[in-house]
């Protein structure tokens, strides 16, 4: 017990002997670029999803407090505590492959006065769609640095700038079924029926705002007075669904130009939830004021 009491007293004295030598607030302005996995995550009802690579670049501002602490061994540690924010542009990419998949677009109209309504049965023989979204990200993160090792954590608010999808060299078969006639039309290409090869489709996505958990850690290199380079790893994980408007009709059919049909995105027809995720390497150039 006496040894335990003595050890406790030594620990308390060591803690009390740590003193703050200096403390001040500094400002840092930075520009960064990052790259790695940057994708949309979702689970299609059929088919396979593949992640994509992307880029992230922008500017940042950090306000931090610098403290130099002296331990009982007279060793000096330089600590930084701060808040980081800024503006960044990030691109997220993904793709989906759908083979031998069947879908139905119901209650379409071909303009016929006698039998206007029909169901369009589509078989996707070969269909690969790519999706890309671009976001303006606003981070709010806490920074901790000891010596030259740093870590940050917080959130990013993502505001959508652009979104699009496209498919090239698709092969599909359309068949029109008329319930009132109990009959099908299969080979009238002028009406959008038959097998179509080498079709290209594209359209716009309308992603919504998102909130992401944001983490980053790495090493800060001092290259000159008030100039530094950060090298680190980052990880962003979306917390909410980015797609708000869903339609279960895959084929977009026009009775004015039925042979020129197009498609809706896989994201709005064959999925229920889409989130953003990114992980990679980041390089940041910083100037301290």
0.75 surpassed by pTM: yes
**Comparing C-alpha atoms, which of 120, 133, 124, 81 is closest to residue 99?**
124
The percentage of the chain sitting over the pLDDT mark of 90, rounded to a whole number, equals 48
The answer to whether residue 106 scores a pLDDT higher than 90 is no
Distance CA 172, CA 176 (A): 13
Classify 244 as helix, strand or coil. Answer: coil
Q: What is the mean pLDDT of the segment spanning 219-248?
A: 91
Sign of CA dihedral 263, 268, 270, 275: positive
Which residue ranges make up each domain of the chain? 17-288
Whole-angstrom Cα distance, residue 82 to residue 141?
9
Question: Is pLDDT above 70 for 186?
Answer: yes
Q: What is the pLDDT of residue 18?
A: 37
Contact 280, 41 (CB under 8 A): no
């Amino acid at each position: 017990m006496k040894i335990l009491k003595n050890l406790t007293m030594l620990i308390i004295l060591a803690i009390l002997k740590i003193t703050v030598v200096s403390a001040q607030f500094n400002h840092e302005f930075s520009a960064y670029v990052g790259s790695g996995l940057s994708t949309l995550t979702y689970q299609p009802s059929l088919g396979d999803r593949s992640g994509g690579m992307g880029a992230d670049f922008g500017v940042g501002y950090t306000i931090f407090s610098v403290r130099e602490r002296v331990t009982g061994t007279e060793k000096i540690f330089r600590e930084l505590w701060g808040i980081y924010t800024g503006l960044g542009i990030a691109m997220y990419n993904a793709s989906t492959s759908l083979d031998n998949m069947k879908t139905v677009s119901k209650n379409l109209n071909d303009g016929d006065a006698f039998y206007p309504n029909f169901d369009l049965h589509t078989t996707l023989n070969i269909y690969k769609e790519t999706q890309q979204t671009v976001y303006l990200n606003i981070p709010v993160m806490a920074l901790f640095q000891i010596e030259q090792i740093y870590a940050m954590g917080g959130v990013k608010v993502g505001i959508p700038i652009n979104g699009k999808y496209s498919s090239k060299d698709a092969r599909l078969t359309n068949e029109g079924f008329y319930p009132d006639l109990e009959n099908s039309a299969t080979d009238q290409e002028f009406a959008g029926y038959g097998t179509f090869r080498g079709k290209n489709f594209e359209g716009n996505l309308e992603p919504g705002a998102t909130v992401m958990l944001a983490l980053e850690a790495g090493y800060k290199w001092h290259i000159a007075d008030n100039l530094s380079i950060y090298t680190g790893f980052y990880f962003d994980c979306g917390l909410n669904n980015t797609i708000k408007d869903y339609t279960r009709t895959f084929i977009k059919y026009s009775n004015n130009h039925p042979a020129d049909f197009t498609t809706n995105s896989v994201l709005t027809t064959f999925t229920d939830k889409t989130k953003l995720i990114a992980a990679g390497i980041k390089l940041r150039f910083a100037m301290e004021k």
